[in-house]
């Protein structure tokens, strides 16, 4: 599979002089299309910073990011906003739904903002896939946490992005809802041909991935097959010890 996102010698420094902290310290990594990659690491390891740089939400201090054939460094704010809107899907821990919109309106929001009409057949398939057919007209306050996150996953997929970034997507959910969201992300790769890059601290979540990337102190310290949850635990114990 071709690489959909690549980072080359990525550094991200916060602060200056003796107070400077390198959240990323020369990360080079590529993400193939049509795969689910889990990124793990202890708190402060740089995993969220890496995701934000890959997605164009943060600007690296040095190095380059290419997303779907476009190098991010040369883009104006407007072009970067359009690239994120058209080619990137986001799923956040906090759902980030608009309370005044129905589930369906929240799902189609990226298209509404772009002035585009949804592909009705694709929208119907998505809503069915996330098991929200009978919740289309409900507002977020009328939905459970798991249902709200399913709306967020559908919203991330509705415009058929090049890549979906999921930042701790199960962090606010109970185990049953977490399992449903992880199954959904896995299905989006297997059945819908999506590419997913997921930051997580949960070994069970990482175990659904094709690949496990572990960061420590701003560097990649492990890059290999995810394996099952026990194997993920073992990797984390070995590389973060």
pLDDT tens by residue, 83-93: 998 899 999 88
Place of tokens 């690549």: 6
CA 98 – CA 105 distance, rounded (Å): 9
Please compute the mean of the pLDDT values over residues 34-51 and round it to a whole number.
92
In this structure, what token pair is assigned to residue 38?
A: 């889990």
- The radius of gyration of the chain's CA atoms, rounded to the nearest angstrom, is 18
Query: What percent of the chain stands above pLDDT 70?
Result: 99
pLDDT digits 0-9 by tens, 102-143: 999 999 998 988 888 988 998 998 898 888 999 999 999 999
DSSP string for 47-62: HHHHHHHHTTSS--SE
CA 5 – CA 110 distance, rounded (Å): 21
Q: What is the DSSP letter of 201?
A: S
With a CB cutoff of 8 Å and minimum separation 6, the contacts of 8 are 28, 63, 64, 65, 66
The Cα-based distances of 97 to 7, 132, 213 in angstroms read: 30, 15, 29
- Contact criterion met (CB below 8 Å) for 222 and 214: yes
| Domains of the chain and CATH, by start | 34-46+83-240 (3.40.50.300)
Angle at 17 between CA 77 and CA 241, to 5 degrees: 90
- Contact criterion met (CB below 8 Å) for 10 and 27: yes
79 confidence band (pLDDT: 50, 70, 90) = very high
pLDDT digits 0-9 by tens, 209-238: 999 999 999 999 999 998 899 999 898 888
pLDDT digits 0-9 by tens, 157-213: 898 898 999 998 888 888 888 888 899 899 889 988 899 999 999 999 999 999 999
Please compute the mean of the pLDDT values over residues 52-61 and round it to a whole number.
92
113 alpha-carbon distance from chain centroid: 20
Q: Is the pLDDT of residue 241 over 70?
A: no
2 confidence band (pLDDT: 50, 70, 90) = confident
Q: Is 134 helix (H, G, I), strand (E, B) or coil?
A: helix
């Amino acid at each position: 599979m071709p690489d959909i996102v690549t980072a080359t010698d990525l550094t991200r420094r916060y602060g200056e002089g003796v107070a400077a902290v390198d959240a990323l310290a020369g990360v080079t990594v590529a993400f193939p299309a049509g795969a689910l990659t889990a990124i793990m690491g202890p708190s402060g390891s740089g995993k969220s910073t890496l995701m934000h740089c890959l997605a164009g939400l943060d600007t690296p201090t040095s190095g380059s990011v290419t997303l779907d054939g476009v190098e991010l460094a040369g883009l104006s704010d407007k072009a970067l906003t359009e690239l994120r809107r058209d080619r990137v899907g986001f799923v956040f821990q906090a759902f980030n739904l608009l309370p005044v919109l129905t589930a369906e309106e929240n799902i189609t929001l990226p298209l509404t903002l772009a002035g585009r009409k949804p592909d009705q057949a694709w929208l119907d398939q998505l809503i069915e896939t996330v098991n929200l057919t009978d919740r289309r007209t409900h507002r977020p306050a009328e939905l459970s946490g798991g249902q709200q996150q399913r709306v967020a996953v559908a919203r991330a997929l509705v415009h058929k992005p090049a890549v979906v970034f999921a930042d701790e997507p199960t962090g606010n959910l109970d185990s049953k809802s977490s399992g449903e969201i992880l199954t959904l992300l896995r299905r989006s790769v297997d059945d819908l041909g999506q590419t997913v890059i997921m930051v997580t601290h949960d070994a069970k979540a990482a175990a659904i991935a094709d690949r496990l990337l572990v960061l420590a102190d701003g560097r990649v310290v492990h890059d290999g097959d995810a394996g099952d949850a026990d194997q993920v635990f073992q990797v984390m114990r070995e590389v973060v010890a």
